[in-house]
């Protein structure tokens, strides 16, 4: 029959073709269903089903239940071979969605049974980035090493050392450190020495901050470092129980916020798309960047997040383009690469806005 191009299809295409920057993507949360299927075939004895690794559309979970999902995914991905396949698939899929610059983040894991060490884990992710580059994929990828706040300051210190070693030894692939993990466990303040050490040695810092309510004291301490970017910042502003002093600090330092709409709605820290704090910061003209967080777990795409933000807040395509272009300046990439990306955006603009 005839092909009917609906408005939705046309918008899908527009946001997929729009060049984009992804700055907040956890590797193991970004694994697509097709990759999960390959992993399940490798490990049939685990008896894992799809609804254990992803939160389908219309479904919601508590944040706590989201963290149970990561445990299942981690069971499926426990060898260097798995990591290589997963990282390559994730990079390829971001490229297919029109992402031109990707900062992946991941928590180094070791596995006594398979012989995987934290060092070989990071090495393997870097190998995947190299292979994708050699295959000519139209995407630049950099890596942030993640500190899981649940594991405490000693592990954090070791992770920082590992990140530092890789930053110095591997032609610029490792650019920073991420603080993540279940925000209801542990206190970010305990990790200050590790985060400070990372900052001092030249690693850029992206910190999950105020992802859940009642973390004013912790956020205050973390903002004093200060971080180079903030993940979520959902409960920073006074209207949601944060504090004006936190907002003032973020604004004084002009610290960009990484915002992940679907993640926050499906994890129920934000009650609906229209109540997302994107609007609060956007109206202030504060630097924000739209991200996916965990595109596999939350069943989304970066293009979809842009489309959702545009439709929820009635933002024009030019406004969305401008957001994606400004995000180039919030990357942890060197200036030369930022310039190349700006050039790419400049060249692609006419093809999207005739």
Ligand X SMILES: CNc1ncnc2c1ncn2[C@@H]1O[C@H](COP(=O)(O)O)[C@@H](O)[C@H]1O
Distances in Å between the Cα of 264 and the Cα atoms of 130, 151, 241, 261 are 32, 23, 17, 5
Q: Mask of contacts with ligand X, 182-201, x by CB under 6 A?
A: -x------------------
- Assigned token pair, 235: 């409960």
| Beta bridge partners of residue 289, listed in sequence order | 258
Contact 241, 268 (CB under 8 A): no
Q: Shortest gap between Cβ of 260 and Zn ion (angstroms)?
A: 7
Candidates 18, 23, 29, 333; binder of ligand X (CB under 6 A) is: 29
Candidates 20, 26, 142, 295; binder of ligand X (CB under 6 A) is: 26
Name the residue nearer to Zn ion (CB basis): 191 or 321.
191
Is residue 256 near ligand X by the rule CB under 6 A? Answer: no
Q: Shortest gap between Cβ of 206 and Zn ion (angstroms)?
A: 9
Is residue 148 near ligand X by the rule CB under 6 A? Answer: yes
211 flagged as catalytic: yes
Query: Closest by alpha carbon to 92, among 133, 37, 149?
Result: 133
Catalytic residue, chosen from 22, 80, 140, 211, is 211
The secondary structure element, H or E, covering residue 193 is helix 192-200
Name the residue nearer to Zn ion (CB basis): 74 or 342.
74
Contact 32, 89 (CB under 8 A): yes
Q: Shortest gap between Cβ of 320 and Zn ion (angstroms)?
A: 22
Distances in Å between the Cα of 106 and the Cα atoms of 4, 111, 120, 148, 167 are 41, 15, 13, 9, 15
Stretch that binds Zn ion, among 61-69, 120-128, 293-301, 345-353 (CB under 5 A): 293-301
CA dihedral sign, ordered 346, 312, 257, 141: negative
Candidates 32, 124, 180, 324; binder of ligand X (CB under 6 A) is: 180
Q: Shortest gap between Cβ of 218 and Zn ion (angstroms)?
A: 16
Chain centroid to Cα 36, Å, comes to 19
Is residue 293 near Zn ion by the rule CB under 5 A? Answer: yes
3-state helix, strand, coil in the chain (%, to 5): 55, 15, 30
Candidates 32, 35, 53, 107; binder of ligand X (CB under 6 A) is: 107
Distances in Å between the Cα of 308 and the Cα atoms of 8, 25, 300 are 12, 18, 10
Binding site for ligand X (CB under 6 A): 26-29, 66, 70, 106-107, 146, 148, 180-181, 183, 208, 211, 263, 267, 293-294
Active site residues per annotation = 211
Binding site for Zn ion (CB under 5 A): 293
């Amino acid at each position: 029959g005839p092909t009917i191009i609906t408005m939705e299809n046309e918008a899908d295409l527009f946001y997929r073709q729009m060049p984009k920057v992804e700055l907040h993507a956890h590797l193991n949360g970004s694994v697509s269903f097709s990759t999960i299927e390959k992993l399940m075939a490798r490990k049939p004895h685990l008896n894992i089903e799809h609804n254990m690794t992803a939160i389908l559309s219309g479904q919601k979970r508590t944040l706590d239940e989201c963290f149970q999902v990561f445990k299942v995914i981690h069971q499926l991905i426990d060898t260097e071979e798995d990591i290589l396949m997963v990282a390559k698939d994730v990079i390829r899929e971001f490229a297919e969605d029109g992402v031109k610059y990707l900062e992946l983040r991941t928590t180094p894991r070791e596995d006594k049974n398979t012989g995987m060490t934290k060092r070989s884990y990071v090495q393997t992710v870097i190998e995947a980035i190299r292979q994708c580059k050699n295959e000519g994929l139209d995407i630049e990828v950099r890596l942030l090493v993640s500190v899981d706040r649940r594991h405490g300051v000693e592990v954090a210190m070791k992770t920082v050392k590992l990140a530092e070693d890789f930053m110095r030894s591997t032609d610029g692939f490792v650019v920073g450190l991420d603080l993540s993990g279940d925000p209801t466990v542990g206190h970010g303040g305990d990790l200050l020495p590790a985060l400070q050490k990372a900052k001092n040695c030249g690693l850029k810092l992206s910190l999950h901050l105020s992802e859940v309510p009642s973390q004013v004291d912790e956020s205050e301490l973390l903002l004093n470092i200060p971080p180079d970017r903030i993940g979520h910042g959902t409960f920073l502003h006074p209207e949601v129980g944060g504090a004006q002093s936190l907002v003032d600090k973020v604004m004084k330092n002009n610290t960009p916020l990484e915002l992940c709409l679907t993640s926050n709605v499906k994890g129920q820290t934000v009650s609906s798309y229209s109540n997302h704090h994107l609007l609060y910061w956007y109206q202030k003209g504060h630097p924000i960047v739209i991200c996916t967080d965990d595109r596999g777990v939350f069943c989304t795409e970066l293009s979809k997040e842009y489309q959702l933000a545009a439709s929820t807040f009635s933002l024009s395509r030019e406004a969305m383009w401008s957001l994606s272009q400004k995000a180039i300046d919030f990357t942890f990439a060197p200036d030369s690469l930022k310039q190349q990306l700006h050039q790419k955006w400049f060249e692609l603009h006419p093809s999207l806005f005739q």
